[in-house]
Amino acid sequence: MTAPLFDDPAQPPRAPQELEPGAMVLPGFAHDQAALLLQAVAAIATRAPMRHLITPGGLRMSVAMTNCGNLGWVSDRTGYRYAAVDPESGHPWPLMPACFEDLAREAAAAAGYPGFTPDACLINRYAIGSRLSLHQDRDERDLAHPIVSVSLGLPASFLWGGRQRTAKVRRVALLHGDVMVWGGPARLHFHGVQRLARGNHPLTGPCRINLTFRKAD
């Protein structure tokens, strides 16, 4: 069977969606900047290549990732943490491009979090069939800052849970250019990504790129 082609035609306007207090989806917020963002991703990956990290339990993550900014998120058998240096190269992570920082700041403000200045951007590459299990983002020093997540390429089914892993999970469709922001009372909600369905996007090919901006320090 031929994989469906997502040619990203002009979508009818979609209003911002509040999932619950503190969590909002901004449809198409990054759509017009997508090509520029992906060019920056490619440049970053030449200096800090994508890699599949190992969890503290010894499992290989299905999602490939790299980082940019003052800090990068890393994982190995010793645990999850932020580091100023790429452990594979021994060099600092690539600088965060201005277009990344501007987008994160503007999206956070649009969702009700003015003054957000990220110092870390996790760049995740989802191949067909890869997924991200339910988890909380809690490795940051100050949890008062929101998370800003940008979806590029193939559509994904985002899993949005509650403050307990056993809470009911909602499935939220995220399309190319959508941005999700959560913080405040929703900051520690469990979340993940369902297995990526087969497809081909004209800008990313058979994958999805996700940019996750955080204030880690």
Listed in order, strand segments (DSSP E) in 36-175 are 64-69, 72-76, 79-83, 120-127, 132-135, 147-153, 156-160, 170-174
- Which pLDDT does position 14 carry in this prediction? 85
63: its two tokens: 């999602």
Q: Is residue 135 part of a domain?
A: yes
Determine the pLDDT at residue 11.
Answer: 61
In a domain, 145, yes or no: yes
| Domain assignment present for 41 | yes
The C-alpha torsion from 70 through 74 and 79 to 85, rounded to 10°, is -50
For residues 211 and 15, is the Cβ–Cβ distance under 8 A?
A: no
93 close to 48: Cβ distance less than 8 angstroms: yes
CB atoms within 10 A of CB 169: 17
**What pLDDT score does 153 carry?**
98
> 136 vs 39, 121, 169, 191, 208, CA distance in Å?
29, 16, 13, 7, 21
CB atoms within 10 A of CB 49: 12
Q: 125 forms bridges with which residues in the sheet?
A: 64, 209
pTM of the entire predicted model: 0.94
In a domain, 142, yes or no: yes
Q: Is residue 65 part of a domain?
A: yes
pLDDT of residue 1: 34
Structural domain for 49, as ranges: 17-214
Whether 12 is covered by a domain: the verdict is no
CATH number at residue 63: 2.60.120.590
Residue 7 confidence (pLDDT):
46
Q: Which amino acid is at 171?
A: R
**For the chain (length 217 residues), average pLDDT per consecutive 10?**
46 84 98 98 98 96 98 96 97 98 98 98 98 96 97 98 95 98 98 98 98 97
Number of compact structural domains in the chain: 1
